[in-house]
A and B are shown apart, each in its own frame.
Chain A
Amino acid sequence: MVRIITVYGGMLLEAMGRTLILALLGLFFACIIGLFFGILSVVKSRICNVIAQIFVDIIRGVPMIVLAFFIYFGIPYLLNTIIGGHNMTLTALQAGTACLALNCGAYMSEIIRAGIQSVDIGQMEAARSLGLPYGVSMRKVVLPQAIRTMIPSIINQFIITLKDTSILSVIGFPELVNTAKNVQANTFMSFQTWAIVGVMYLFVITILSRNAKMVERKLNVGR
């Protein structure tokens, strides 16, 4: 145990750093995707709703490991061989970010949709009858109430996404699990290696959840 920490500790910490970078990049784009499709699924337009539904169904219906292989190997292959004329490759970080963003984005858009729809329809009707346009009623009346309900689910999704980065070890991205496999292969100490890795994840995720609780409390003022 001590030997793993002294010899490979730095390597594992660097890997944790790369895990966090990947997770943060993924979450950043996931928020944009989630917000976009979430709003698309609540606006009063049948076409927009269907587009959002199809996106969510496809991404939610495919395991992330399949999505990872598809983006990393499939998309460059598609462009280079079938369509032709391109010479594109994705780095593992780009493919991993895209994979996390799509996956987490689909779930986020559902959380956002559910949050908005959980606000009583009377709130929107009241705002509209006071003469506020749709956009303003949404922004000033419905969303502030919806966000409170969404926050716990969004935090939950963040944590899941942070842990999902481990799946991207299969495309060779040197995140924590990929690196730990190496440490294990070099030391042949599986119990110790995975115990250390587990504690590292636990540590980061505990910090995240504690901070999330604080944000939640702040946003809950007036309830």
Chain B
Amino acid sequence: MKKRIIALLAAVAMTVSLVGCGAKGSGSTPASSDSKTWIIATDTSFKPFEYRDSENNFVGIDMDLLAAIAEDQGFKYDVQILGWDASIAACQAGQADGMIAGASITDERKEFGWIFSDGYYDANQSMAVAENSGITGLDGLSGKAVAVKTGTMSAEYAESLSGQYNFTVTYFEDSPTMYQAVVGGQVAAVFDDTPIMAANIKDGNLPMVILPETGNDPAAYGFAVFNKDNQKLVDMFNEGLKNIKANGKYDEILKKYLG
């Protein structure tokens, strides 16, 4: 009996200390100052927006834009490569200040607390299949499985079509795993952002084809923060984006990655 009481007390103490930790994490809002280093979260592999090149450097359109804008606006930042889901969670928890990961600007996301910058690139989502699959359109998906990345626009797009075209949606964590599944035949097709698929197919020589007529309407990518206190970061991003568009730096970066 005595042992039980002690165990119970220990459990209560542990719970209380856990709750304490949680409160501390969410309650602290860092004071912003000019010397502040902003923590920017990003996805692990979203070629050509962010990826590791063959020299093991983390590069991409997002990274170059961020560097150019930071230079223009004179702020310091530190990139944390967390992955898509974890980036969102880190921004919400205050462990990161903002994220740049090819995030499409949507009204739904705004409702859920995303605060977006101006759009910096327009992209749509479409479907790709293995070269030898014989699938020519959405009609060919009946009874098959398709791959999407958790929580992305393409996941939403595929979900919206799955009933009509009678396919099931399988969720993966990153783009390369999805393409692997298409090429390996584990899924019939993948829904992803068109420029990402195009870059991967071209650079990786993947035996995959994009079916252009399966695309949806394009939406703009934006830089995002989740905390109103970081509005300053969004303002600097917008201002910097305007400047690098004016001085030609923006076009230079896009040309470097998209040809």
Contacts and interface: CB of A to CB of B under 8 A. Distances in A.
Contacts of B186: 72-73, 76, 89-92, 172
B243 interface: no
A188 B92 contact: yes
Interface stretch (A106-114, A131-139, A153-161, A174-182): A174-182
Contacts of B155: 182, 185
Interface stretch (B3-11, B30-38, B169-177): B169-177
Interface in A158-192: 169-172, 174, 178, 181-182, 184-188, 190-191
Given A89-B186, A172-B170, A181-B85, A73 B92 contact: no
A70 interface: no
A80 B207 CA distance: 15
Give the secondary structure class of B's interface.
Answer: mixed
A190 B171 contact: no
A89 B184 contact: yes
Contact of B181 (A80, A172, A184): A172
B150 A77 contact: no
Nearest to A170: B173
B89 interface: yes
A190 B186 CA distance: 29
Contacts of B187: 172
B171 A188 contact: no
A117 to B, nearest CB: 33
Nearest to A74: B184
Nearest 5 A/B pairs, CB to CB: A185-B151, A172-B170, A190-B89, A89-B185, A188-B112
Interface of A: 72-73, 76-77, 80, 87, 89-92, 169-172, 174, 178, 181-182, 184-188, 190-191
14 contacts: A76-B185, A77-B184, A89-B184, A89-B185, A89-B186, A174-B170, A181-B150, A182-B150, A184-B89, A185-B155, A188-B88, A188-B113, A190-B93, A191-B93
Given A169-B173, A170-B173, A185-B150, 10 more contacts: A73-B186, A76-B185, A76-B186, A77-B184, A170-B172, A172-B170, A181-B151, A182-B150, A182-B155, A188-B88
Interface of B: 22, 85, 88-89, 92-93, 112-113, 147, 150-152, 155, 170-173, 177, 180-181, 184-187
